[in-house]
């Protein structure tokens, strides 16, 4: 069978790679063409476009690059038509993927979506587009199944793929990790400022202001695979921190606490049982627009899944040195850490266990064989 997969960002690349591995096991003759990243490329198939080329964040940033975005959409449609896949598989990245899905459905292609667009967060009107354009939707958050059911659409809850990604990773020992990266013996505070240039610039500059006030700890910046060291150096300057690129899971496995940009990383940090403060600061225009259309009580996946404040969220103007220092001090205290650990264990139970990628692959291949 011929599969065409479209993923964006580092997280989509990770989940896409794991899905591709399972598809190849379920269908040894799988011919896969995809938009993704290095991890998907390492699995095999043909990489059409790397997500680094499309890393635009926020409404204003997308608007500034509108002609580029429209060019990618036009090229993608043409490439799909030439490949003529048996099924299209969209992974997250809703702004791009839902536009392609509408066209693909009109052209008669079979459409599957893995990792739901966050219609439960904003613009619920998109549900009618999903119902119209997507043949099968595989969701990874426990509350999504009931959300869609309430809107008359049946979806498949498969559990969260991060559980597999974390469980299956190569293990590292703290001693070897510290030695390899020349780290001190101090407890580690990980800085996870995101993966896109706009967010890294805003987040990391504020996070770094705390370094002098916590000299008893080793601060380590988690570099994203999508960015070069030279970019980080411009922000870090002479601040006394370590920098480790593309080894976030290894870093989290040995960290004592973390400051984390809102996104998938908040859930990853929780699954590694690392106490955290969640940070978010977007462009002024993008934030003002988002504030008016997003209806959620929380921005972090940890709090959304648990439906309560498990981790502190510092958003926009609240994300400043004074507030960040207060919250970091709290999660270094034993009582706060114990409470957060208990909530983290409950969170993992709600996520549904291992096997998300396998479940999706089996269902997709099975549906194709029926046709």
Give pLDDT tens digits for 34-81.
Answer: 999 999 999 999 999 998 876 555 554 555 566 677 888 999 999 999
Structure confidence by residue, pLDDT tens digits, 126-135: 899 999 999 9
Would you state the pLDDT for residue 209?
Answer: 97
Output the pLDDT for position 293.
47
Give the pLDDT band (50/70/90) at residue 292.
Answer: very low
CB under 8 Å to 279, separation ≥6 — which residues?
193, 203, 206, 207, 259, 260, 261, 262, 314, 319, 324
Backbone CA torsion sign across 347, 349, 355, 359 = negative
Question: What value does the mean pLDDT take over residues 275-304?
Answer: 74
Of residues 59 and 176, the one with the higher pLDDT is 176
Q: How far apart are CA 235 and CA 214, in angstroms?
A: 19
State the Cα–Cα distance between residues 159 and 202, nearest whole angstrom: 32
- From the CA atom positions of the chain, what is the Rg in Å? 21
Token pair 């996946």 is at which residue? 301
Angstrom distance (rounded) from CA 59 to CA 87: 30
Burial 161-187 (b: 16+ CB within 10 A, else e): bbbbbbeeeeebeeeebbeeeebeeee
Report whether pLDDT(281) > 90.
Answer: no
CB 15 within 8 A of CB 89: no
pLDDT score for 62: 56
Output the pLDDT for position 59. Answer: 52
**Which pLDDT score is estimated for 67?**
65
* Whether pLDDT at 295 is above 90: no
Residues in the chain: 371
Q: Reply yes or no on whether the pLDDT at 325 is more than 60.
A: yes
pLDDT at site 219: 98
- Read off the pLDDT of each residue in 107-112 and give the average, rounded to a whole number: 98
What string of DSSP letters covers 249-305?
A: HHHHHT-SEEEEESSHHHHHHHHTT--EEEEE---HHHHHHHHHHB--S-SSHHHHH
Residue 346, pLDDT score: 95
* 242 φ/ψ angles, rounded to the nearest 5 degrees: -95, 155
CA angle, 196 then 254 then 183, to 5°: 85
Average pLDDT over residues 343-363: 94
Question: Mean pLDDT across the chain, nearest whole number?
Answer: 90
Task: Please write the tens of the pLDDT for every residue from 217-250.
Answer: 999 999 998 788 999 999 999 999 999 999 999 9
> How far apart are alpha carbons 22 and 33 in whole angstroms?
15
Q: What is the pTM of this model?
A: 0.81
Cβ(51)–Cβ(35) below 8 Å: yes
Burial (Cβ within 10 Å: 0-12, 13-18, ≥19) of residue 194: buried
Q: How far apart are CA 65 and CA 56, in angstroms?
A: 8
Q: Is the pLDDT of residue 197 over 90?
A: no
pLDDT-above-90 percentage for the chain: 75
* pLDDT at residue 38 in the model: 92
For residue 149 the two structure tokens come to 């059911």
Q: Provide mean pLDDT across the span 210-223.
A: 97
Domain over 172-350 is classified CATH 3.40.250.10: no
Six token digits for residue 36: 């993704």
Superfamily (CATH) of domain 2-159+355-370: Glycogen Phosphorylase B; (3.40.50.2000)
Q: How high is the pLDDT of residue 66?
A: 63
* For the chain, domain boundaries: 2-159+355-370, 172-350
pLDDT of residue 119: 85
Question: Do 2-159+355-370 and 172-350 agree at the fold level?
Answer: yes
pLDDT at residue number 289: 47
């Amino acid at each position: 069978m011929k599969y065409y997969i479209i993923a964006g960002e580092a997280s989509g690349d990770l989940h896409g790679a794991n899905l591709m591995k399972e598809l190849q096991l379920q269908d040894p003759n799988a011919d896969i063409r995809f938009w993704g990243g290095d991890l998907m490329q390492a699995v095999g198939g043909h990489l059409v476009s790397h997500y680094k080329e499309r890393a635009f964040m926020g409404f204003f940033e997308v608007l500034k690059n509108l002609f580029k975005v429209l060019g990618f959409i036009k090229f993608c449609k043409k490439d799909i038509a030439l490949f003529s896949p048996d099924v299209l598989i969209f992974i997250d990245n809703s702004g791009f993927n839902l536009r392609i899905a509408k066209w693909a459905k009109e052209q008669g292609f079979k459409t599957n979506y893995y990792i739901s667009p966050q219609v439960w967060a904003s613009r619920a009107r998109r549900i009618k587009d999903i119902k119209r354009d997507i043949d099968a939707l595989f969701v990874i958050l426990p509350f999504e199944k009931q959300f869609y059911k309430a809107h008359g659409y049946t979806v498949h809850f498969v559990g969260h793929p991060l559980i597999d990604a974390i469980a299956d990773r190569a293990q590292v020992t703290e001693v070897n990790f510290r030695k390899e990266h020349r780290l001190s013996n101090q407890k580690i505070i990980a800085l996870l400022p995101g993966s896109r240039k706009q967010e890294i610039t805003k987040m990391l500059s504020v996070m770094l202001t705390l370094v002098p006030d916590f000299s008893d700890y080793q601060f380590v910046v988690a570099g994203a695979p999508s960015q070069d060291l030279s970019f980080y150096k411009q922000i870090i300057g002479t601040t006394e921190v370590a920098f480790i690129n593309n080894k976030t899971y290894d870093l989290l496995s040995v960290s004592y606490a973390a400051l984390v940009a809102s996104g998938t990383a908040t859930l990853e940090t929780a699954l590694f049982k690392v106490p955290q403060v969640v940070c978010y600061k977007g462009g002024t225009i993008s934030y003002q627009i988002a504030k008016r259309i997003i209806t959620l009580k929380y921005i972090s996946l940890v709090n959304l899944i648990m439906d309560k404040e498990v981790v502190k969220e510092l958003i926009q103007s609240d994300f400043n040195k004074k507030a960040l220092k207060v919250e970091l001090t709290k999660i270094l205290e034993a009582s706060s850490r114990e409470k957060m650990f208990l909530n983290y264990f409950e969170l993992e139970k709600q996520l549904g266990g291992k096997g998300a990628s396998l479940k999706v692959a089996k269902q997709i291949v099975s549906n194709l064989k029926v046709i």
